[in-house]
Amino acid sequence: MSGFEYAIHENQVLFSSLAEEEAVYHVRVKRNLPEIPIHPRVIDLFCGAGGLTLGFTQLCGHSFEPVWANDFNDYACRTYTKNFNTHCFPGDIVNLLSDHSVSIPPAEVVIGGPPCQGFSLLNKNRDEDPRKQLWRPYMEVVERSNASIFIMENVPQLLDSAEYYDIKELAEKQGFIIRSARLCSADYGAPQIRWRAFIIGCKFTDPSISFPPKKTHFNPIRGYRKAFSEEFDAYIVDPRPWRTVRDTISDLSEPIGTDIRAIQPPYDLHFGRTPTDKSLERYRAIPEEGMNRFDLYKRAPHLTPDCWIRKISGGTDLFGRLWWDRPSVTIRTEFFKPEKGRYLHPEQHRPITHREAARLQSFPDDFIFVGSKIEIAKQIGNAVPPMLAARIADSVYSLLQLRSIGLCRTYSQEKSVVG
C-alpha cells in the first residue's frame, strides 16, 4: 500500500509512513478472540472525497469493501471513484432513492455524514435549514441495504438537537441499539483539533462494547490516564503525544507557482497564491507563530479592517498563524483564505497550501483529488479525517468479529438480553 504499510500483531495495528512509524490502537474486546477473516461491505453516503471510506478500507488494516457511494458534488464523486474503484453516484440522494432504476446493494455497514451546515453555529438560519432533515434518506438506505451497523457523523451540535432524538427514535424502531460520542481527531492520530459527533447503531449487540474507540494520542500538556477522572482507562496501553503541525508539514519546501501541477505528490498540490501588497504587509506585521488579528490591531492598526475591529462574536480567531508544536485548528473549506481563520503558515508569509491542508486532515500524499483548486479545497475541508475514521472502523470491525464467532446474541432473540 503506497504511503502506508501495516502489519497486524496481536492487538495492535502498526503503521509506517515516510514521516514516522506509528502504533495505533486495534480495538479488541478483553477476551482471547480468534481473528476470523470477514469482508464487510460498506456504503458511504454524502461521501465527499471519501475520508470515511479511506479510513475504513485502507488505514485501519481491515478488509472493508466499498460497494456503493453517493454525493451531491460531481467532482467529489470523481475523486471517490478514482481512489476506490467503486462507482459513486452523483446527485440528490432523495431523487436517487425515488428512481426505480437505482438499486441499493446489500451491505453490512452504512457510513456517512449528512450535510452539517444545518446544525452549524456559523449558520444563522439553521433552525429552518432543510439540510437538517437529510438524515432521513440516510436511514432509508440503512433499511434498504439491510445493514446491521451504521455510523452517522456530524458537528457536535447535532447531539444537543431535537433531530438527534428523532434519529434515535427511528433507528430504534428499525431495531438498532444507539450510542453516541463527541470525538476529537487529535486524540486518534490526526494533527488537527477537530471535534465531531458520531452516532453508532448496531442491531445485534450494544455497540458500547467497543465504541467509542480508545484514544491513541494524548494532549502532552494534560497527560493521560488520570485516576478517578472521566478519562481513566480511555487510552490504549502506550499512547503517543498529539501529532503537530511540525510533524506534518515541516518537510515541505516553499510552494512553487499558483496552480495544480502535473508532477508527483506532494508538490502537485503544494502551490501558493498571489497576495496583494497590503496582504503581505499584514503577514509581515504578525511574524510570530500563534499571532492573529488582535496582534495585528495592536502592532499595525492602520492595516486592520474596520469589520475585524467590530467583530466580537462568532469566528473571532481570524488571520492567525498556526503553532509549530501543536495540532492545527479545524481545517475548513476556505483554508487558503487567512481572513477565514487561523490558516497562516507558522513562519512563512502565506496561508497554508492544499497539500498542507490535506496532510493536516491526515490524507496520505498518494490520495488523488480531482477538480479545480476550489473544488479540491471543498473536498479537503469537508472530509472526516481518515485517521479518525480508521479508529471508528476498528470499533465496527470488532463488533462484526464478535458476531462472526457467535459471542454476541443476535437481535432476533429477546431485546432484553441483547449483548
Query: Read out DSSP for 192-210?
Result: B--EEEEEEEESSS-GGGT
Mind listing the pLDDT tens digit for each residue in 336-350?
999 999 999 999 999
Smallest CA-to-CA distance from 180 within 392, 409, 387 is with 392
Query: What pLDDT, on the 0 to 100 scale, is given for residue 128?
Result: 52
The predicted model scores a pTM of 0.86
Domain that holds residue 168: 27-243+385-417
Cβ atoms 394, 6 nearer than 8 A: no
Q: Which residues are catalytic?
A: 116
Lowest mean pLDDT among 9-18, 54-63, 304-313: 9-18
Say if 322 falls within a structural domain.
no
In a domain, 99, yes or no: yes
SS3 262: coil
Residue 211 lies in a domain: yes
Residue 291 placed within a domain: no
- Of the candidates 381, 363, 401, 265, the one whose C-alpha atom is nearest the C-alpha of residue 58 is 363
Percent of the chain at pLDDT > 70 equals 82
6, pLDDT greater than 70 = no
The verdict on residue 9 lying in a domain is no
Is residue 61 included in any domain, yes or no?
Answer: yes
pLDDT value, residue 229: 57
325 assigned to some structural domain: no
Domains of the chain: total: 1
* Residues 276, 320: Cα–Cα separation, whole Å: 17
Where residue 295 falls (left for φ over 0; alpha for ψ -120 to 50; beta otherwise) is alpha
* 329 falls within a domain: no
Looking at residue 149, what is its pLDDT? 98
Domain at 143, CATH number: 3.40.50.150
pLDDT at 218 over 50: yes
pLDDT for position 117? 55
Query: What does the pLDDT read at residue 293?
Result: 93
Express each pLDDT in 130-185 by its tens digit. 446 899 999 999 999 999 999 999 999 999 998 999 999 999 999 999 999 999 99
